[in-house]
C-alpha cells in the first residue's frame, strides 16, 4: 500500500512523523529477526511498514543508518555508578558483553562494522555513533576524576578508546563469554598500568 493511502503513514517532509517512524523502526526490527542481516533491505522494511522508500531514505540516508537506530533501540546496557572506577568499568563490560551475547544486537553491530570497511555511508554512520559512545563511556572516567580516583591530567576519551578496543575485539571475534575474573584483570591493568614497581 502506498504511504499516502493511510493517514497514519503520511509523510510530513524531512521532519519525522512519529507514527510513521515508529512503524518503520518496528518493521526494521521484524525484518532483521526474520531475515537476518544478510536478508535485510530497505525494500523489505518499506513493504512491511507500508511506507514509501523515499520516506525511509529521507529520514535514514542509508541502510546502515536505519540499522544503527534499530541497534540503539535494542540496546539496554546498564552503566553502574558504584563510587569506584574499577567496579564501574567491570560492571559496564560485563553488561555490554551479556547484551551482545544474549540478543541479536551483537550480530547486527558486528555486521555493521564489517560493512563499514567497504561502504562509505556505513563508515560515516558508524563513526558518528562511535563518537557518541566514546563520550558516554568517558563520563565514567570523568566521575572518577571528580572523586580524585584518577590523575587530573588523564584524558577520559583516550581511556574510553582503550575500553572500546577491548570490547570491540571480543565482539568481532565472537568471544563474549569472558569470565568476570578476566575482565577484572583487564580493567586492573588499564587502571594500574604494567610498569614494574619502583620505576
Give per-residue pLDDT as tens, 150-164: 999 999 999 999 999
90 close to 183: Cβ distance less than 8 angstroms: yes
Among 45, 39, 89, 52, which Cα is nearest to 69's? 45
Region 121-141: mean pLDDT is 92
Of 112, 123, 125, 126, nearest to 171 (Cα)?
112
pLDDT at 122 over 60: yes
pTM: 0.79
Percent of the chain predicted with pLDDT > 90: 60
Kindly indicate the confidence band of residue 8, based on its pLDDT and cuts at 50, 70 and 90. Answer: very low
What would the mean pLDDT of 173-191 be, rounded to a whole number? 95
The fold of the 3-59 domain, in CATH, is: Arc Repressor Mutant, subunit A (1.10.10)
**What distance in Å separates the CA atoms of residue 111 and residue 104, rounded to the nearest whole number?**
11
pLDDT, one tens digit per residue, over 14-36 is: 567 888 899 999 999 899 888 88
The domain segmentation of the chain, as residue ranges, is 3-59, 76-192
pLDDT band at 121 (very low <50, low <70, confident <90, very high): confident
Domain 76-192 classified CATH 1.10.357.10? yes
Amino acid at each position: 500500500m502506498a504511504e499516502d493511502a493511510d493517514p497514519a503513514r503520511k509523510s510530513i517532509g524531512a521532519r519525522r512523523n512519529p507514527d510513521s517512524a515508529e512503524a518503520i523502526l518496528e518493521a526494521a526490527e521484524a525484518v532483521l529477526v526474520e531475515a537476518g542481516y544478510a536478508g535485510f533491505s530497505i525494500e523489505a522494511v518499506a513493504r512491511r511498514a507500508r511506507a514509501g522508500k523515499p520516506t525511509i531514505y529521507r529520514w535514514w540516508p542509508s541502510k546502515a543508518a536505519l540499522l544503527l537506530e534499530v541497534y540503539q533501540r535494542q540496546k539496554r546496557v546498564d552503566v553502574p555508578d558504584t563510587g569506584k572506577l574499577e567496579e564501574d568499568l567491570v560492571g559496564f563490560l560485563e553488561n555490554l558483553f551479556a547484551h551482545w551475547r544474549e540478543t541479536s544486537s551483537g550480530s547486527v553491530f558486528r555486521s555493521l562494522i564489517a560493512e563499514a570497511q567497504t561502504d562509505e555511508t556505513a563508515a560515516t554512520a558508524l563513526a558518528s555513533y562511535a563518537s557518541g559512545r566514546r563520550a558516554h563511556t568517558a563520563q565514567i572516567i570523568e566521575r572518577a576524576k571528580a572523586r580524585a580516583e584518577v590523575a587530573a591530567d588523564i584524558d577520559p576519551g583516550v581511556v574510553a578508546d582503550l575500553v572500546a578496543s577491548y570490547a570491540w575485539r571480543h565482539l568481532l571475534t565472537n568471544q563474549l563469554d569472558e569470565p568476570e575474573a578476566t575482565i577484572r584483570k583487564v580493567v586492573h591493568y588499564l587502571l594500574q598500568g604494567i610498569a614494574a614497581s619502583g620505576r
